[in-house]
Amino acid sequence: MAAHALKRQFIRDSEGNPIGVILPLEEFALVEETLTKLLLVPSTAGKLAQMENAANDDLFMADLCETMNAFEQVDAQWLEPD
């Protein structure tokens, strides 16, 4: 049985856009520490701080307002009067 060596394998979505990659272990070892830092789940205190700061984030508030307006319109279509 012949052994095949795999190199990087790119994962593509249905439109052919690259969305991920499978790395050989040697290459993964080079980026593992950075990825681990990026993927850390924030502590509860960190999450609370983010929520407190959200009210001062103009982009977040604009997105929230747009989302709530869209919800209000859809909700009005489905709301059954008492």
pLDDT at 70: 92
**What mean pLDDT value characterizes the chain?**
86
pLDDT at 46: 85
pLDDT above 70: residue 36: yes
Contact 8, 22 (CB under 8 A): yes
DSSP sequence for the chain: --------EEEE-TTS-EEEEE--HHHHHHHHHHHHHHTPPPPHHHHHHHHHHHTT-HHHHHHHHHHHHHHHHHHHHHPPP-
pLDDT at 4: 62
Tell if the pTM clears 0.95, that is, is over it.
Answer: no
Q: Place 82 in a pLDDT band, splitting at 50, 70 and 90.
A: low
pLDDT above 70: residue 2: no
What contacts 27, CB < 8 A, 6 or more positions away?
Answer: 8
